[in-house]
Structures are given as C-alpha cells and as structure tokens.
Amino acid sequence: MKSKSLLLGAAILAFVAPSAAAKEKPRMLDLSKAEDALEVGKRAQCGEADGKPAVYHWSGKVYSRVTGEPDRMLFLGEGMNIRTCVTVDDPKRGKGWRLVSREIMLYLDPKTGEVLRKWTNPWTDETVDVMHIANDPVNQRPQFATNADGTTYKFIGRREGRWIFAPFEAPLFYHNVLAGDYQDYIGGKYHAMEIFDFAYDAEEILNTKYPTAYPIVSWVRISDWMPWMKMRGRQGQMVFNAMGNKLKSFDELPAVLKDEIRLNYPAYIAPPPGDDARPNETTWTVFKKMVDENRAKTGEKPKTSH
C-alpha cells in the first residue's frame, strides 16, 4: 500500500529465482538452500510461470496520529497489486527473476464504504480533491542465489507448525520530490516505514507439486500526510493497517476495486511488460506530475514570498 505501499510497497518485497518445478519431479524445497529460498519467494510473489499475472488484495483502515489529540479513523482502504515475474540472466550471477507490477489503493468513506472523490479536511475545513494511490510501475530489482556483494541469499523468517512466517520492514528516508533543494538542512525528506508480514502454508509453499502458493499478508505503513490533503506542514502522521492475500485472478477482487479500475484505471487490469524499464512511481511523484500539468494548463505560478 505506498507510499510504499501500498502492497504490495509498496513496498518493498522479496525477489525470486527461476523455477524448474514444471520439469522436475515434485519435491520439498529446503529453505536453508539459496536456490530453494529464492524459489519460495517466486512462488509467494508471482504466478505459476514467466509472464503469468498474479494479484494481491488488501483491505484495511487509515488513521491520523497527532500529538495531543486522539487518533482519528480517516478512511477505509481497498488496494490491489497486479504483477508478474520474468527470468533474467546475469553473466556472473546466473539466472534470476525480476518482478514488475502496478498498484492501486482506494480511499473509501468510513461510513458508507463508497469511493471518495472529495474530502473535507477536519483540521483546515478545506474541501480537497482525493487522489487515490495509483502507482505505475512498482518494479523490483532482479534477485539471484548470489547477492550483489557476493554473499549467499538467505530466507528471512521462521516456521511454526504448518505456518512459515516471513516479516519484512522497509524504513524509508529519502529526498521528497515535492520539497526543495535544501532538505538536508531544514528537513522535508520523505519519512515512512513499510511493514509486510507474510504467512505461508508450509505444505503449499514448499511442495513443488503445487504450481504456486497463495500467502496471507498484513501491511502497515506509517508515513507523512498525503500531499493532496493540503496539511501545510502540520505536525502528525498517517497509519495504514491492512490485511489481505494473493488471489487466483483479477476477478476475485471486490466489486468496488474492479469497478473503479475498469472505469478510471484500465491499465491496471494487467501487469506491466516484463522488460519495463520505467522508473518507479510513488504518490509524491504522481502528485507532482499532476500539479505541474495543471499549472501548465492554467498558467498558475508557484506561490513564493515577496
């Protein structure tokens, strides 16, 4: 949910190594082996084969946190990420996998569950246009059994009975494209934490007789205010909390997501092409493009001091 999102950071997840499962006799993967650990990542993140889409869905709530006042539930959230994995070859590291994706999260009215178009900011009483999270692309770097620094890839997680748990935290602190050129001196950097906790059914994820796996995932994001909220530097943060799982197809998504995607975001019915080389988008880069385009159309100048 981003942000990093939003899931599926998202943002923000494990990468994968090539599978020969379709050609081999079914076996149980060994998490202590780098090649098998990466295969587990592929089975969790992607579809059954190169280029086959996989869809993650999550549903949750969005809160404010401001010092000196109770937390407020601002929105309900419904999100999805559609992705695929493709095989890549590296002359030194061998065969690996790359994940490409796009993701959406809709802000819904907490009372009606309807998609919000306008929102009245309770701190400023200003009514603003809602910009839903719609990041295209959200791609990841290729991963291999040998990491870029020469170390061996290792699975991070633990097994408890029938479940394998795989937590992943992504602390984010980087240049904010909406702020100025002096962020190292006066602040303004984008500061957030994306947290993903996956739960795998051990038999499904480790046994290659199953073409792929369908994990459960929880997602938490702690971040700055969304730019479209026009908070004007007010102290406070947003807390996103959601749970979801990997679906078998786009058609399993809730109607509110399918309807909105078909109406306003038709590209999100399918993942990007496997060779997609575009830079990743975030809420902040998308919002900046929207503001710049509107200013170019209207001739509006950025407000500066005199």
Q: Which phi and psi angles does 211 have, rounded to 5°?
A: -60, -30
Whole-number Å distance between alpha carbons of 181 and 1: 27
What are the tens digits of pLDDT across the range 140-199?
999 999 999 999 999 999 999 999 999 999 999 999 999 999 999 999 999 999 999 999
Longest dimension (CA), the chain: 74
Q: Which residue from 32, 105, 55, 99 is spatially nearest to 246, judged by alpha carbons?
A: 55
Distance separating alpha carbons of residues 76 and 195, to the nearest angstrom: 18
Q: Which residues of 224-252 are buried (b: 16+ CB within 10 A; e: fewer)?
A: bbbbbbebeeeebbbbbbbebebbeebee
Residue 11 has pLDDT above 80, yes or no: no
Q: Going along 224-292, which residue ranges are E strands? A: 237-247
CA separation for the pair 94, 91 (Å, rounded): 6
What is the Cα 55 distance to its own chain's centre? Answer: 12
CA distance linking residue 166 with residue 273, whole number of Å? 28
pLDDT band at 304 (very low <50, low <70, confident <90, very high): low
For residues 38 and 145, the answer to whether their CB atoms sit within 8 Å is yes
Q: pLDDT (tens digit, 9 = 90+) per residue, 55-111?
A: 999 999 999 999 999 999 999 999 999 999 999 999 999 889 999 999 999 999 999
